[in-house]
């Protein structure tokens, strides 16, 4: 089981263990980091689980951004090229070592 670094809005870096096939949103929330609101619970009807994901180690890639996720992120004032909805990124060990930043609150 790999780990990733979560950067909170206050800039605190926290090491979190991944869990196979569990969305980053659930892993972060289960660790008690409630600043990632995730109000819709992963239904992709809000963008309150918006994160920035740094370049992946070893040339790994994330699942492709789907049209619904793309549209939801377009509604954010804080969208960047590295933006993702954490509910749409399942953990896999190839992501070990990545850094995930919680985006500013809308």
Q: How many CB atoms lie within 10 A of CB 3?
A: 14
The total domain count for the chain is: 1
In whole angstroms, how far apart are CA 66 and each of 33, 48, 53, 105? 26, 17, 16, 22
pTM, entire model: 0.93
- Walk along the chain (106 residues) in steps of 10 and give the mean pLDDT of each run: 95 97 96 89 89 87 92 95 96 93 94
CATH number of the domain where residue 14 is located = 3.10.20.30
Structural domain of 80: 3-102
Query: What confidence score (pLDDT) does residue 39 get?
Result: 86
Closest by Cα among 64, 63, 57, 58 to 90: 63
């Amino acid at each position: 089981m790999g780990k990733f670094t979560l950067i909170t809005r206050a800039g605190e870096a926290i090491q979190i263990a991944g869990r196979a096939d569990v969305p980053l949103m659930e892993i972060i929330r289960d660790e008690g980091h409630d600043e990632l609101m995730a109000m819709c619970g992963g239904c992709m009807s809000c963008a309150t689980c918006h994160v920035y994901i740094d370049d992946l180690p070893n040339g790994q890639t994330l699942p492709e951004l789907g049209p619904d996720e793309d549209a939801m992120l377009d509604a954010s004032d804080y969208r960047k090229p590295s933006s993702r909805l954490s509910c749409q990124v399942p953990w896999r060990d190839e992501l070990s070592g990545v850094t995930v930043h919680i985006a500013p609150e809308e």
